[in-house]
Each structure stands twice: as structure tokens, then as C-alpha cells.
Amino acid sequence: MSRLNEANILLAKEIIGRYPKARSATIPLLHLSQQQNGHITNDAIAHIAELVGATAAEVDGPPGATLALPAREKPAPDVAASAPAWRCSAT
């Protein structure tokens, strides 16, 4: 899922309402999308652009997704699952 789900769309509209200009909510909405999906996709950027009245390039470029969020296009790795078992055990 890349676009915000229905519950998060409602939350996004509330977040947008907190700002004098809708575009000012871009970074909080990117964080919301990252929280929902674990990463940011081009579809998510396009959806957020629609919500704030911007272009996808404006949302993706500085100071948007490019600088604000480290997770882009792929889910964050599950560190616990990839760490060797001997490193995870208590000694």
C-alpha cells in the first residue's frame, strides 16, 4: 500500500488544517506515510502532493522527502531478524 489509508487521510486533513498553507504540512505527511508503510514510494509522494496542492517534484525535492526522510522506496530492514543469534542473546 502506498497511498494513505482512509484513517490516515482523515488524519492528514487534520494535520493540513494546523498550518496556514497546506504545503507546510508536507514533511509531517511524509512522516505519516512512512509510519503507515515503513518507507516512502513515488505513489505516496504523488498522493501527498495531491493533498497539499503541490507537484510530486515539489514534495520529493528539498526540503521534502529527499532530505527529511532516510527511508525511501524500500522497507526498513528487520535488524533483529538479520543480526546473528549470538549478538542478540543476553550474556
Peptide bond into 63 cis (omega under 30): yes
Mean pLDDT of 58-87: 59
Place of cell 482523515: 10
Cβ partners under 8 Å of residue 59, min gap 6: 26, 30, 45, 46, 48, 49, 52, 65
**Residue 61 has what pLDDT?**
79
**What is the pLDDT confidence band of residue 39, given thresholds at 50, 70 and 90?**
confident
Cα separation, 25 vs 53, in Å, equals 11
